[in-house]
Structure 1
């Protein structure tokens, strides 16, 4: 299983990240995230992508002290609010 995440920033900058099965990718404004997005709509700790059953899964929120804490700003996939979703080619995340 391999996947490529295409990221388009509000500035128009586009970049890609190869997702590796077994790795977890944190998303947010904070510098310690794997994917740092400089956008006021994004929480400091917004979401993360992990893999299970040979698929990548987007999860709204972050893990703190072993507990899942949902983001304040929420995650949208293909225009709909989403708490968790297995990603497929062509999904658009906001």
Structure 2
């Protein structure tokens, strides 16, 4: 039963991602020719996923940026990593 739920959840996740990509393609349809979609859809999808991942900590990171303006980059990076919870 657990395996069935996991497969169903994976299938739903893949379908959601496919729908996201097709929605982006619909938006781009007027701006780009069909053979140019691949040059835009993948990078924009990655940017959107990165944005969505970082959104919960955005306010804290922006506040940390303001607070650490006078620091050198190495020190600033440590504070930003702590604020975001990510090590990049």
TM over 0.5: no
In terms of fraction of residues, the more helix-rich structure is: 2
TM-score between both structures, scaled by the size of structure 2: 0.18
The structure that is strand-richer by fraction is 1
The structure number with the bigger radius of gyration is: 2
